[in-house]
Copies of this chain bind each other. A is one copy, B any other.
């Protein structure tokens, strides 16, 4: 069960409302790098967690925290919209420099919400829950969470660089700090489970003897003749999981051309295909 105290986790203050920045902030609410995604992702990972309960509890905690982040951002969007132009006339009367403000807005902020946030990204794409990764494999999920917090922090930094409103910079510096911690936290969970090397390859419960072992540590070059393959840590030395040696090999087809049966007569093809 869940409870609220109706207060914000961190103060949200907008000194100079900017309805175009409101559009940009939407990416952090409903974008794939945003907070609805992490909230739902951590919730579904927690609700489906099988195995030791401490990881479930940790996920549930942080999912609950993320709700407060959506709330902060939704408040920030509403505050940035408070003086937004609502009509073409207001717009035309504006000065040339500000003249494009209406054009730069998410029109649904005017037409669909009455100047409030939407569960959408900066281009007005609604959040789609297919982005909630909860695989039932704890290590895969932790990597998905590090990814979410990495792209989330990259986004928050870009928003921070985009604005010079002190209130917005403050709020974003808090969210950036939380993203720092959450990157740490999911990696710490991997360490808690025995460390990255032991976790690999994910899932580590599948016996590697059943995979085609000749291809497990080979960097395959799909290059036409005469083009040099890229060299790096991935093409030589012991593998990251310590279980193999990297090698660089040239791609070549082990199978022939695929052969499918002709179409069946009742399957709606052309007669020319049946010949």
Contacts and interface: CB of A to CB of B under 8 A. Distances in A.
Nearest to A217: B181
B36 A129 contact: yes
A254 to B, nearest CB: 5
A64 B133 contact: no
A64 B222 contact: yes
Contacts of A205: 265, 268-271, 274
A218 B61 CA distance: 13
Given A4-B60, A143-B146, A173 B119 contact: no
A251 B65 contact: yes
A166 interface: no
B6 A57 contact: yes
The number of chain A residues touching the other chain, given as a range, is: 35 or more
Contacts of A8: 1, 253-258
B127 A125 contact: no
B234 A188 contact: yes
Contacts of A74: 43-44, 47-48
The 4 closest A-B pairs by CB, nearest first: A114-B136, A48-B116, A103-B104, A123-B124
Contacts of A50: 114-116, 260-263, 269, 273
A203 B154 contact: yes
B224 A200 contact: no
B31 A112 contact: yes
A257 to B, nearest CB: 5
A38 interface: no
B154 A179 contact: no
A67 to B, nearest CB: 4
Contacts of A48: 74, 78, 113-117, 260
Interface string A125-153: 11111111111111110011011001101
Contacts of A128: 126-130
A165 to B, nearest CB: 9
A253 B1 contact: yes
Interface in A89-130: 89, 92, 96-97, 99-104, 106-108, 110-130
Contact of A137 (B154, B189, B229): B154
B224 A161 contact: no
A27 B233 contact: no
A267 B62 CA distance: 26
Given A112-B31, A125-B125, A255-B12, A49 B1 contact: no
30 contacts: A1-B5, A1-B7, A4-B227, A7-B257, A9-B255, A18-B88, A32-B133, A47-B116, A47-B117, A48-B116, A48-B260, A61-B220, A62-B222, A65-B220, A86-B264, A87-B163, A88-B164, A96-B96, A100-B100, A111-B159, A124-B125, A126-B130, A136-B268, A174-B215, A180-B217, A184-B241, A184-B246, A189-B233, A205-B270, A205-B274
